[in-house]
């Protein structure tokens, strides 16, 4: 898999941008739950008041508050006293609009503080504010006043009866007051932090109202600004996600293009041996379906490799830092459950993933065989048998797919059940914590969001883990093709042809064995094909005729002896240079979709129309081409299915003639021609090839009668060599072949 992914280096810039955008998106997504928490805790519950230390406080209220703390100096150092007398007129007018009470009373305004200083001030003022609020409430004030007056002598009691509680406390001895406050603080220490904070915030809100500030506006402004920040972060996340998907799709598509190109280029270099190892159906599957699997994986891979870990780890750290860590065990439970389900599915479904691609290969193979051999199937009326064969392959693939899909369909509901169960558990435990004052509602909501993010990150990992095995199988299949070294390849340093031996083909003690074969197919093949002469090869079926001519363009490499062209061993020249001088016409004529013109000009698209027409004339194709309405622009269907076998052979021959090679090789290329056309073609070809080497493989004696040299093959060995007349006189094998086709009179 890593070898396939190494091809991503072509798009490394896009990959880097994707990683950066994923970090941005993950950061934005992780920030949103904390804003939700703040809107609920601060914006709704606290009325938009963020700190327990008030922004402004009346001078009289500050004096009362300082009764309940020993940090008088530290608190006052963080405030500045504002009054009508010490402010400039413009500044006073500005502040009095914001703090209407400033017109009649001096107030303290908080200085600009750093985060640590603000936190310290909040801590120092929380308890005093709560005490002050509690004491100044009507019910508490009367109760405390009655409790204090119980221990006061009667003369003082009547005097203190008309005093306020705050006045009584101010008049109390310092030691007695300190003792009373110590007892109260001990009781407050047993209270939860959130209860104290909320009580202090409530006191600050009442103080703001007393000063004349618009607390509704404070709340609305806070929620509005927090909402705007959330929208901004959500917009950043959305833009990042869109850009990531766009770039990921491009990167995946580019990788798919690169892999298809590399596989195709590699396949073009394969010799016939490699094509036998990889079936055509398998190569098609590897070039399409397998690469598609990897392309789909890459589209999702970046989000899992980069985004999921950031969300998972970042969410967990945020839970520990910003929420109540006593509920962290719930996240651990969720992760364990998810991993358990994924592991079970892996163990059950993994073998099927590996089998799927092989079953697709088999289905393609069967379908290709049936479609290619349809005329034969119809001729022998075996449609029903072939339908059953296709149905079996189809059902095997269907069963494997159904099994995998069922496993996946079980996984998603199971994972969703875990997610919903975890959410209920959080609400249950969190509800109790909120009731006990351990945490706030906003913190519980943020915890739910963080937990869902963490769970979703593991869901993403589980989803990619489902795609990964199949993509890994596909990657291995692609690597098999890319890492297969062709048996036939050029040397690092190649030689050039000898211009003095142009067109000379020499077989010197050549032997050949197919890979993994038990014995030699060809043995001790010795002959020379000279320029200006025609060499014919004839023999019974399976004697090795086609194998001999397939060695000339290096479709196979000889396993023994030497094959020389233009005086150079063909292993020492480049395949491109070798095949450039050979006009090869295979036994089965192959045409490409396009036009008659594009097929004849296939070897050299730049050739002139005159050269094309001359080649068609020599190949005896002019008559049927010009009889068509569009002539040379007549469309050719895929595989040449809209022309007859003879027409296909003549166009194949014209294609070889058009490039004007040094050597012509015809591998039984006249078999579909009638005798008249065969004779006319050979006569025209003889004029064209006066200084060319012509090698013809033929089954018909009439095709080789006038050859300058006839090679007779039997069971991979040369059993006769000479002209037709010589072989008729002294070669029994040739004589039997000739007499089986023509009468003695015709042969003479």
Q: Token digits for 609?
A: 């129309």
Q: What is the CATH number of the domain that holds 294?
A: 1.20.1560.10
Q: Would you give the DSSP letter of residue 81?
A: E
In this prediction, residue 236 carries a pLDDT of 92
With a cut of 90, say whether residue 664 has pLDDT above it.
no
With a cut of 80, say whether residue 142 has pLDDT above it.
no
Strand order of the β-sheet with 56-58 is: 56-58, 107-110, 79-82
Shared domain check, 510 and 436: no
Query: Is 602 inside any structural domain?
Result: no
Shared domain check, 194 and 298: no
Query: Is 25 inside any structural domain?
Result: no
For CA atoms 720, 721, 724, 727, the dihedral sign is: negative
In this prediction, residue 746 carries a pLDDT of 61
Shared domain check, 537 and 423: no
**Percentage of residues in the chain having pLDDT higher than 90:** 2
In this prediction, residue 140 carries a pLDDT of 61
Please tell me the distance from the alpha carbon of residue 210 to that of residue 104, in angstroms, as a whole number: 12
Average pLDDT over residues 608-616: 86
Please tell me the distance from the alpha carbon of residue 118 to that of residue 124, in angstroms, as a whole number: 10
595 within 8 A of 636, measured Cβ to Cβ:
yes
Q: What is the CATH number of the domain that holds 548?
A: 3.40.50.300
Query: Is 291 inside any structural domain?
Result: yes
Shared domain check, 114 and 80: yes
With a cut of 90, say whether residue 215 has pLDDT above it.
no
Q: Say which residue the tokens 């928490």 belong to.
A: 37
Q: Say which residue the tokens 């069963």 belong to.
A: 399
Query: Is 225 inside any structural domain?
Result: no
In this prediction, residue 372 carries a pLDDT of 75
In this prediction, residue 156 carries a pLDDT of 62
How far is CA 61 from its chain centroid? 65
In this prediction, residue 684 carries a pLDDT of 83
With a cut of 60, say whether residue 188 has pLDDT above it.
no
Average pLDDT over residues 319-337: 72
Residue finishing a domain among 458, 483, 508 = 483
Please tell me the distance from the alpha carbon of residue 315 to that of residue 313, in angstroms, as a whole number: 5
Please tell me the distance from the alpha carbon of residue 527 to that of residue 525, in angstroms, as a whole number: 7
Structural domain count, the chain: 3
CA angle 73, 76, 77 (to 5 degrees): 85
Q: Say which residue the tokens 């833009």 belong to.
A: 239
**562 beta partners:** 508
With a cut of 60, say whether residue 190 has pLDDT above it.
no
Mean per-residue pLDDT of the chain: 80
Shared domain check, 334 and 451: yes
Shared domain check, 503 and 476: no
747 within 8 A of 728, measured Cβ to Cβ:
yes
Average pLDDT over residues 434-442: 71
Average pLDDT over residues 121-149: 72
Shared domain check, 117 and 83: yes
Residue finishing a domain among 176, 196, 218 = 218
Classify 636 as helix, strand or coil: strand
Q: Which of 69-73, 284-288, 469-473, 729-733 has the lowest mean pLDDT?
A: 469-473
Residue finishing a domain among 449, 483, 517 = 483
Shared domain check, 561 and 444: no
Confidence of residue 164 (pLDDT cuts 50, 70, 90): low
Query: Is 272 inside any structural domain?
Result: yes
Average pLDDT over residues 586-599: 82
Q: What is the pLDDT of residues 62-83, one digit of tens each?
A: 888 887 787 888 888 999 998 8
In this prediction, residue 669 carries a pLDDT of 77
With a cut of 60, say whether residue 307 has pLDDT above it.
yes
Shared domain check, 501 and 478: no
pTM: 0.67
Average pLDDT over residues 562-570: 87
Q: What is the pLDDT of residues 241-268, one digit of tens each?
A: 899 888 888 888 888 888 888 888 888 8
Shared domain check, 159 and 78: yes
- Nearest Cα residue to 352 out of 254, 456, 191, 466: 466
With a cut of 80, say whether residue 472 has pLDDT above it.
no
With a cut of 80, say whether residue 222 has pLDDT above it.
yes
Shared domain check, 418 and 356: yes
Range picked from 31-40, 189-198, 674-683 for highest mean pLDDT: 31-40
Please tell me the distance from the alpha carbon of residue 471 to that of residue 53, in angstroms, as a whole number: 59
Domain that holds residue 142: 52-218
With a cut of 90, say whether residue 235 has pLDDT above it.
yes
Q: What is the pLDDT of residues 103-119, one digit of tens each?
A: 888 899 999 988 888 88
Shared domain check, 309 and 437: yes
Query: Is 746 inside any structural domain?
Result: yes
CA dihedral defined by 37, 18, 471, 413, rounded to 10 degrees? 20
Q: What is the pLDDT of residues 37-68, one digit of tens each?
A: 888 888 888 888 888 889 999 888 888 888 77
Q: What is the pLDDT of residues 708-741, one digit of tens each?
A: 888 888 888 888 888 888 888 888 888 888 888 7
With a cut of 60, say whether residue 189 has pLDDT above it.
no
**726 beta partners:** none
In this prediction, residue 231 carries a pLDDT of 92
Query: Is 396 inside any structural domain?
Result: yes
For CA atoms 164, 170, 176, 178, the dihedral sign is: positive
Average pLDDT over residues 584-604: 83
Query: Is 463 inside any structural domain?
Result: yes
How far is CA 679 from its chain centroid? 60
Q: What is the pLDDT of residues 360-406, one digit of tens each?
A: 778 888 887 887 777 788 787 788 888 888 888 888 888 888 887 77
Q: Which of 115-129, 278-292, 428-442, 650-664 has the lowest mean pLDDT?
A: 428-442
302 within 8 A of 244, measured Cβ to Cβ:
yes
In this prediction, residue 25 carries a pLDDT of 87
- Nearest Cα residue to 169 out of 157, 177, 161, 159: 177
């Amino acid at each position: 898999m890593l070898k396939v992914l190494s091809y991503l280096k072509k798009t490394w810039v896009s990959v880097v941008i994707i990683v950066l955008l994923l970090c941005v998106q993950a950061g934005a997504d992780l920030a949103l739950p904390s804003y939700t928490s703040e809107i609920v805790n601060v914006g709704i519950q606290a009325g938009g008041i963020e700190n327990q230390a008030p922004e402004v406080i009346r001078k009289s209220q500050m004096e009362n508050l300082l009764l309940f703390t020993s940090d008088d100096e530290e608190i006052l150092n963080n405030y500045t006293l504002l009054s009508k007398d010490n402010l400039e007129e413009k500044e006073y007018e500005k502040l009095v609009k914001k703090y209407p009470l400033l017109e009649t009373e001096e107030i303290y305004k908080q200085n600009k503080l750093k985060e640590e200083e603000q936190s310290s001030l909040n801590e120092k003022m929380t308890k005093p504010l709560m005490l002050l609020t509690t004491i100044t409430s009507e019910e508490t004030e009367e109760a405390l006043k009655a409790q204090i007056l119980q221990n006061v002598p009667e003369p003082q009691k009547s005097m203190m009866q008309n005093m306020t509680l705050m006045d009584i406390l101010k008049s109390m001895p310092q030691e007695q007051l300190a003792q009373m406050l110590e007892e109260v603080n001990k009781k407050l220490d047993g209270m939860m932090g959130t209860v104290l904070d909320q009580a202090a915030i409530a006191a600050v809100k009442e103080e703001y109202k007393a000063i004349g500030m618009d607390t509704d506006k404070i709340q609305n402004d806070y929620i509005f600004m927090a909402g705007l920040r959330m929208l901004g972060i959500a917009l950043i996340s959305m833009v990042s996600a869109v850009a990531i998907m766009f770039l990921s799709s491009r990167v995946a598509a580019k990788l798919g293009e690169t892999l298809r190109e590399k596989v195709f280029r590699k396949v073009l270099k394969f010799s016939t041996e490699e094509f036998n190892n990889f079936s055509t159906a398998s190569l098609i599957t590897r070039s399409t379906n397998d690469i598609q699997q990897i392309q789909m994986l890459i589209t999702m891979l970046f989000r899992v490799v980069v985004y999921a870990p950031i969300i998972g780890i970042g969410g967990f750290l945020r839970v520990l830092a910003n929420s109540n860590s006593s509920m962290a065990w719930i996240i651990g439970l969720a992760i364990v459950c998810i991993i358990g389900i994924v592991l079970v599915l892996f163990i059950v479904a993994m073998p099927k993933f590996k089998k799927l691609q092989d079953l697709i290969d088999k289905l393609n193979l069967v379908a290709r065989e049936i479609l290619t051999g349809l005329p034969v199937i119809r001729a022998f009326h075996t449609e029903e048998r072939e339908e059953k064969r296709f149905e079996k392959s189809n059902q095997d693939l269907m069963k494997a797919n159904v099994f995998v899909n069922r496993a996946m369909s079980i996984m998603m509901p199971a994972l969703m059940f875990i997610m919903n169960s975890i959410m209920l558990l959080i609400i249950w435990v969190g509800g109790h914590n909120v009731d006990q004052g351990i945490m706030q509602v906003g913190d519980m909501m943020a915890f739910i969001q963080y937990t869902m993010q963490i769970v979703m990150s593991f869901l993403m990992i589980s989803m990619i883990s489902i795609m990964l095995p199949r993509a890994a199988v596909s990657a291995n299949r692609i690597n098999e093709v890319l890492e297969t070294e062709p048996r036939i390849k050029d040397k690092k340093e190649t030689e050039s042809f000898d211009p003095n031996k142009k067109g000379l083909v020499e077989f010197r003690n050549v032997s050949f064995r197919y890979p993994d074969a038990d014995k030699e197919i060809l043995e001790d093949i010795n002959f020379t094909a000279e320029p200006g002469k025609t060499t014919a090869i004839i023999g019974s079926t399976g004697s090795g005729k086609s194998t001999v001519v397939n060695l000339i363009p290096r479709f196979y490499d000889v396993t023994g002896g030497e094959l020389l062209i233009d005086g150079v061993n063909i292993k020492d020249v480049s395949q491109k240079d070798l095949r450039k001088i050979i006009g090869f016409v295979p036994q089965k004529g192959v045409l490409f979709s396009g036009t008659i013109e594009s097929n004849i000009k296939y070897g050299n698209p730049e050739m002139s129309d005159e050269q094309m027409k001359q080649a068609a004339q020599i190949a005896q194709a002019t008559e049927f081409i010009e009889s068509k309405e569009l002539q040379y622009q007549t469309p050719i269907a895929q595989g040449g299915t809209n022309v007859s076998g003879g027409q296909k052979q003549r166009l194949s021959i014209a294609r070889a003639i058009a490039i004007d090679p040094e050597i012509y090789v015809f591998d039984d290329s006249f078999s579909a021609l009638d005798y008249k056309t065969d004779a006319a073609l050979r006569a025209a070809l003889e004029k064209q090839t006066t200084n060319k080497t012509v090698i013809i493989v033929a089954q018909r004696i009439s095709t080789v009668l006038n050859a300058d040299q006839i090679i007779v093959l039997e069971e991979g060995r040369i059993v006769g060599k000479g002209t037709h007349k010589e072989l008729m006189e002294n070669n029994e094998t040739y004589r039997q072949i000739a007499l089986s086709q023509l009468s003695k009179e015709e042969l003479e």
